[in-house]
């Protein structure tokens, strides 16, 4: 058994979600399915906080779905969107304070053939350039919900160091329903990456 290079717990619990969303850029999202290991670098994230309307757990709203977000930071929050696509988040903050970071896009590194097969696409730039695509490529579904970010079948490990100046910022995508909070500059991405989702809402 090789020792995994997991992130320390404090990484997930120690700061507000925008800081953690920035910090996750360059980290590696890893998945083991059967005997195949998939690895991909996180290149785009969005922060969600219980204090703003775009968040499922806004105002500490607790439901069957948002229960996961109330767990201590460092677990995955997975849900189904539009009845079709899974979305992968990382829960942050301490227990009882529901904040999270959505993983919106990753750059495939290992197991690319498997991801191409999962996505039924060959173009590497289209394998995980969006939150739904990322889950399809990495074979993430509701079974992963509430599992630790250091699980044997899905985990996050150290990756590239990212220079702050290499990080682009914009408002979040697809949250127009959130009123004024829709304008929060809480989407973060690697400027130089060709693997981010196409949208570039400023």
Partner DNA sequence: CTATCGATCCACT
Partner DNA sequence: GTGGATCGATAGG
Least distance between DNA and beta carbon 134 (Å): 7
The answer to whether residue 177 forms part of the interface with DNA (CB under 7 A) is yes
Contact 153, 33 (CB under 8 A): yes
The answer to whether residue 64 forms part of the interface with DNA (CB under 7 A) is yes
Would you mind telling me the total number of residues written for the chain in this entry?
202
The answer to whether residue 149 forms part of the interface with DNA (CB under 7 A) is no
Least distance between DNA and beta carbon 91 (Å): 10
Least distance between DNA and beta carbon 161 (Å): 25
DSSP single-letter state for residue 75: B
Contact 4, 157 (CB under 8 A): yes
Q: Pick from 173, 184, 190, 196 the residue near DNA by CB under 7 A.
A: 173
Contact 5, 158 (CB under 8 A): yes
Nearest to 23 by CA among 7, 39, 38, 5: 7
Q: Which residues make up the interface to DNA (CB under 7 A)?
A: 46, 48, 54-56, 61, 63-66, 77, 79-85, 87, 89, 100, 102, 119, 121, 126, 130-134, 172-175, 177, 197
């Amino acid at each position: 058994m090789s020792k995994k290079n997991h992130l320390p717990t404090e990484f997930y619990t120690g700061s507000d979600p925008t800081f953690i969303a920035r910090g996750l850029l360059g980290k590696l999202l890893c998945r083991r399915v059967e005997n195949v290991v998939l690895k991909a670098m996180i290149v785009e994230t969005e922060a969600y906080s219980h204090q703003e309307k775009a968040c499922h757990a806004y105002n500490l709203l607790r439901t069957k779905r948002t229960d996961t977000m109330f767990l201590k930071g460092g677990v995955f929050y997975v849900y189904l969107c539009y009845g079709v696509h899974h979305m992968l988040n990382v829960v942050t903050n301490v227990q009882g304070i529901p904040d999270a970071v959505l993983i919106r896009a990753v750059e495939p590194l290992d197991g690319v053939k498997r991801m191409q097969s999962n996505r039924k696409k060959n173009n590497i730039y289209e394998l995980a350039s969006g939150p739904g695509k990322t889950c399809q490529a990495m074979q993430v579904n509701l079974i992963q919900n509430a599992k630790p970010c250091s699980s044997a079948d899905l985990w996050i490990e150290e990756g590239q160091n990212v220079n702050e100046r290499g990080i682009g910022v914009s408002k979040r995508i697809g949250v127009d329903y959130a009123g004024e909070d829709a304008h929060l500059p809480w989407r973060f991405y690697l400027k130089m990456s060709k693997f981010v989702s196409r949208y570039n809402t400023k």
